[in-house]
Chain A
Amino acid sequence: MTLKTFLLGACSAMAFVANAASAETLTIATVNNSDMIRMQGLTSEFTKANPDIQVNWVTLEENVLRERVTTDIAANGGQYDIVTIGNYEVPIWAKQQWLLPLDGLGDNYDMDDLLPAIRGGLSVDSKLYAAPFYGESAMIMYRTDLLEKAGLKMPENPTWEFIADAAKKMTDRGNDINGICLRGKAGWGENMAFLSALNNSFGGRWFDENWKPQFDQPEWKEALTFYADLMKEAGPAGASSNGFNENLTLFQQGKCGMWMDATVAASMVSNPKESTVADKVNYAIFPSKEGVNNHGNWLWSWNLAVPASSQKAEAAQKFIAWATSKEYTALVASKEGWANVPPGTRTSLYENADYKKAAAFAEPTLAAMTAADITKPTVKPVPYTGGQFVAIPEFQALGTTVGQLFSAVIAGQSTVDDALAAAQATATRDMTRAGYIK
């Protein structure tokens, strides 16, 4: 065989490669969270009941997943039949017609059982575009022993003023105990999730009704100054690089008096296998500022959706209906206990006596989720929805840039005034370029 013949043969072979995926093999893109891993482990239960459907999992890092799925949907790649996305993406993607409405979940699905706050965030024009797999808000997780030692009692509706006082009194740096642990790592889903919720609870907002950025307003200055001072006086060293995982470890090792973060962390800090302080943890609703009736409005859910490019929408909806059903919750409970079921999506779970008995964090979680309203996240009027984020496509980039500016403040590389001025300038430029500000 001559070289020419070989090359011609090779080129022809490449040109005729066909997609090997079978008609009923679902490809599901997901992230590596414990609830997702559990779902992968239980997939055989679904395929047993639906032998005509096979499931392939693609697990990716959160940002890579977003990038991959965005490319795939935008270029109509059709590589995924189900994608795992947050409630930030769902309304944006649905309006761009990147997602199919979930109208084939079946009569037994009990859509009315979904928590109204969660369902509202996943619906556009009253149509559900993603089914919630698990949901979360934010709340205070605190050490009962340290609070008692400080001579304080957690009020039913704690204020930031109380939290600051408690954090300072609980701090014992000689024994490596920090009064408070908060996110400091830069990122729209990292420190800006917390700081946006904090700003909401201080009465601030990201944009006014005309999309003018509000970093030059007193609320942002007050909130950021409060955060920076608190972290300096009662926060851990190197807090500017701490995200969810770092703070989780600090809390589990007994190095935090309080931690304000996603409610999903409650099952981890109260798990005696992982946490050294499991029996000394209690929970309270996200604080508000004295005189401002706003608890931050943090609301997040990981959801399953069908991209418009999928050729197997019917089978995909069948899987989604199974994975987000009450029956799936019961299945997890029977295999791994009630404390391990995916939380924050269905009202019935919070009425279940077994769940309430197994999960001490059930009530505070439900209270936090019920209090969150992403359709009206701030005291003042705003043109956007979303609590710890702003539901516009530009927020990912802008939130991360502002997050870097604010992270520099607690790293001691910048001042509150400089960071706010830079944030105002950046946000004004980006929003003007994007056409929001005329």
Chain B
Amino acid sequence: MARKVTTGAKIGWTIAAWVVALLIFFPILYALITSLKTEQEAIAGFSLIPSGTFENYVTVQTQRDYFKPFMNSVILSLGSTILALIIAIPSAWAMAFAPTKRTKDILMWMLSTKMMPSVAVLLPIFIIFRTFGLLDSRVGLTVMLTLINLPIVVWMLYTYFREIPGEILEAARMDGASLWKEIVYVLTPMAVPGIASTLLLNIILAWNEAFWTIQLTTTNAAPLTAFIASFSSPQGLFWAKLSAASTMAIAPILILGWFSQKQLVRGLTFGAVK
């Protein structure tokens, strides 16, 4: 039976939700406001009213090329996500529908790799990349981003796949479907909301990754994270320009997130209610 909610409670919860949403969004909003200030205004202190100059966007565009790092960000985030899904879907299938007594341990081990600080393996990874000529290459960085996000992708897909009744897959097998056909034509379409949200989340994670994308690139494969980092200055004002660069860097992913929020929420709550 549904609980009765009073109008006062509704208003209270709505206000609370807006306050929380604004708090979460505030850093992005403040970056946008700062990008519309002069450098002197930006460093002068807290203020929500900018002078409204677009000079920083012009300077950022004049000083550095935005298009190349933007394209690199698109290629790296999409490439690493697709590669991760190609590896993770069969892995998650095996763990969800053909588990062994070590499956849980493997899942925990995969997750544990996320617990290690990245800098701890910087030198070995750097040497491997150097040896294989992968430094500053999009292919190398795609592999790297795939590997660091793979545990999360496998875990998410495993959780979604577990919600799908195994009997349906068995029925497909009875009808003569091969393993490949079972995964592609039966499992994948049923798990589309879960796969879509995993895909979107992984794109966001790859887009925002700022350790390896800066450490392993120089010019050819450097994405927008390196573009942002280049505007910090030890001697000279830079907050407004840095904010403009940040706004330009996060705008595409923010727009993607805005338009796909329904799928994201649906996917993330998939299986939450039985």
Contacts and interface: CB of A to CB of B under 8 A. Distances in A.
B232 A3 contact: no
Contacts of B46: none
Given A3-B90, A249-B237, A17 B232 contact: no
Contact of B140 (A14, A21, A31, A262): A14
A37 B231 CA distance: 10
B214 interface: yes
B214 A68 contact: yes
Given A32-B230, A33-B235, A245-B43, A27 B135 contact: no
B244 to A, nearest CB: 14
Considering residues B63, B130, B140, which has the most beta carbons from chain A within 10 angstroms of its beta carbon? B130
Contacts of B230: 32, 58-61
Contacts of B180: 2-3
In this complex, the interface size class of chain A, counting residues with CB under 8 Å from chain B, is 35 or more
Interface in B33-66: 40, 43-44, 63-64
A68 B126 CA distance: 11
Contacts, number: 115
Nearest to A33: B235
Interface string A260-298: 001011001000001000000000000000000000000
A244 B40 CA distance: 14
A63 B238 CA distance: 16
Contact of A31 (B83, B219, B233): B233
B263 interface: no
A252 interface: yes
Interface in A54-83: 56-62, 64, 68, 71-72, 74-80
A15 B132 contact: yes
A58 B214 CA distance: 10
B127 interface: yes
Contacts of A10: 83
Contact of B130 (A7, A61, A75, A264): A75
A61 B232 contact: yes
B137 interface: yes
B116 interface: no
Nearest to A56: B219
B123 interface: yes
B117 interface: no
B233 A32 contact: yes
A62 B140 contact: no
Contact of B123 (A18, A59, A75, A268): A75
A249 B234 contact: no
Contacts of B123: 71, 74-75
A75 B219 contact: no
Interface in A232-262: 244-246, 248-249, 252-253, 262
A14 B139 contact: yes
B184 to A, nearest CB: 10
B110 interface: no
Nearest to B129: A77
Given A18-B133, A19-B135, A56-B219, A62 B237 contact: no
Contacts of B63: 37, 40
A7 B127 CA distance: 24
A189 interface: yes
Interface string B85-122: 01000100000000000000000000000000000001
Chain B CB count within 10 A is highest, among A32, A59, A80, A249, for A32
Contacts of A32: 230-233, 236, 238
Given A75-B130, A77-B130, A245-B237, A61 B229 contact: yes
Contacts of B14: none
Contacts of B139: 13-14, 17
B137 A58 contact: no
Contacts of B231: 32, 59
A248 B237 contact: yes
A80 B217 CA distance: 11
22 contacts: A3-B90, A6-B86, A14-B134, A15-B132, A17-B132, A31-B234, A32-B232, A32-B233, A32-B236, A33-B233, A33-B235, A56-B218, A56-B219, A59-B231, A71-B122, A75-B127, A77-B130, A78-B130, A245-B43, A246-B43, A265-B235, A268-B236
- CB-CB nearest 4 A-B residue pairs: A59-B230, A61-B232, A32-B233, A56-B219
Given A32-B238, A245-B236, 10 more contacts: A20-B137, A31-B234, A32-B232, A33-B235, A61-B230, A74-B123, A77-B130, A77-B135, A79-B135, A245-B235
